[in-house]
A and B are shown apart, each in its own frame.
Chain A
Amino acid sequence: MPSTRITKTQEMVYEMKVGEVMTRQVITVRPDVPMSRLRGILRQNRISGLPVLDGQRLVGLISLEDFIKWLADRAEDGPIRQRMTQHLEKVSEDDPLVLAVGKFDKSGLGRLPVVDRNDPTKLLGILTKGDVIEGLLKKLEIDYQQEQIRRHRTAHVFFEDVQADRTALVLQYDVKGQDFGQAGASSSRLKQTLHRLGVGPNLVRRVAIASFEAEMNLVVFTSGGTLRAKIQPETLLLEAADSGPGIADIACALEPGYSTAPDWVRELGFGAGMGLPNIRKSCDRFEIDSALGKGTRLTASFFVNENFHDIS
């Protein structure tokens, strides 16, 4: 089936070089060794073929297949030189792996000698299909580990690597009062940022609910305020502060369904009397301080330790 989608392996085959996966410790044989000894050499080294070197010069390749052919021909014993393959497909160390794969496919060969680009008789290593597969798997594993480390980092090392007696990241958002067009925008940005920092999705959701409700309170009831998220290694503090009008009866305000919102606000779906209860339900610790005419400060704490590990 024709596909334009390039897989990770295909991409790697183009990026990786023969030199990265080839075997450098090559077992070789001299051309004057008799064919009758080949079987022992192959068996001992658990290989199915090897380069033939005349001194330092690569002169051919001899394989199990050549040996079987020799047996089938019932030919006289003789030096390997007479039965070896002399016209060799070769590759260079800096050739992309895809070139070697193409040569394997086209020739049906099991191995390719890797030679110096400037001196094709100088053997540098040998490349088998097994080397290619092993090399790709190793690279995939390395990539996978790096990805794991990177994901781990975003969540942990962010704080662990910061050397200080106290560390905190403060994100502050200014919320405009009575501006329903922008309402929710700050919480939305906070949510995205936490997500990028690697905070677990469950915690992000809880913080988002609290910040959304707190933001709505600022929009509906005040002339504006600030929303701050203070991220520490152990806790995430969400703070909403404004300078008025303040809550007359906090106990009532915490009752689900109690609302002082004007009708036009309710028509928009806000002011259900569920804001503070929702915040309290979503966080681990809830504090609220309010003075009429002065303002309200709300702090919702979330314990992040367990959640930070939840980076799935």
Chain B
Amino acid sequence: MTLADLVDALELQVRAGRARLEREVTGGYASDLLSDVIANGRPGDLWITLQKHVNTVAVASMKDLAAIVLVNGREPEEDTVRKAEAENIPVLVSRLPAFELAGRLCGLGVGRMG
């Protein structure tokens, strides 16, 4: 499933990285601790978080994550959007809380079991 499919299915708002929405999402990881994501995130993961500051982009880029999804309708900071555009990392916003969003994603078949 591509990011674009997920944007449609879950009514996500795209805040950055529109050019990379064709990317395949191979899994997901939900965490608000950056080092935890560095340790456990995998390339192609959709990262569910409420952290909206610029360092999330560095983490996503380092781990080659598919995208960052902010939950609870939290908007990314300006710096985050700018950096995300520069690094070509999609930043999405969902109105749902993390638990529900993860559930919906699993329901759509996004996950490690493929």
Contact = CB atoms under 8 A, between A and B. Distances in A.
Interface of A: 180-181, 183-184, 187-188, 191, 205, 208-209, 212-213, 216, 256, 266, 268-270, 272-275, 277-278, 281
Most buried by A among B32, B53, B58: B58
Given A213-B38, A269-B51, A272-B36, 4 more contacts: A180-B53, A268-B53, A268-B55, A269-B33
A205 B38 CA distance: 11
A184 B54 contact: yes
B41 to A, nearest CB: 11
B39 A269 contact: no
B35 A278 contact: yes
A278 B32 contact: no
23 contacts: A184-B54, A184-B55, A191-B62, A205-B62, A205-B64, A209-B38, A209-B62, A212-B58, A268-B51, A268-B55, A269-B32, A269-B49, A269-B53, A269-B55, A269-B56, A270-B35, A272-B34, A272-B35, A273-B35, A274-B39, A275-B35, A278-B35, A278-B39
A180 B56 CA distance: 12
B8 to A, nearest CB: 29
B22 interface: no
A71 B62 CA distance: 74
Contacts of B34: 216, 269-270, 272
Nearest to A275: B35
B74 to A, nearest CB: 13
Chain B, interface residues (CB within 8 Å), range: 10 to 19
Contacts of B11: none
Contacts of B64: 205
Interface in B33-47: 33-36, 38-39
B35 A183 contact: no
Contact of B35 (A180, A187, A191, A274): A274
B33 A272 contact: yes
Nearest to B59: A212
A256 B64 CA distance: 23
A275 B39 CA distance: 9
B79 interface: yes
Contacts of B79: 181
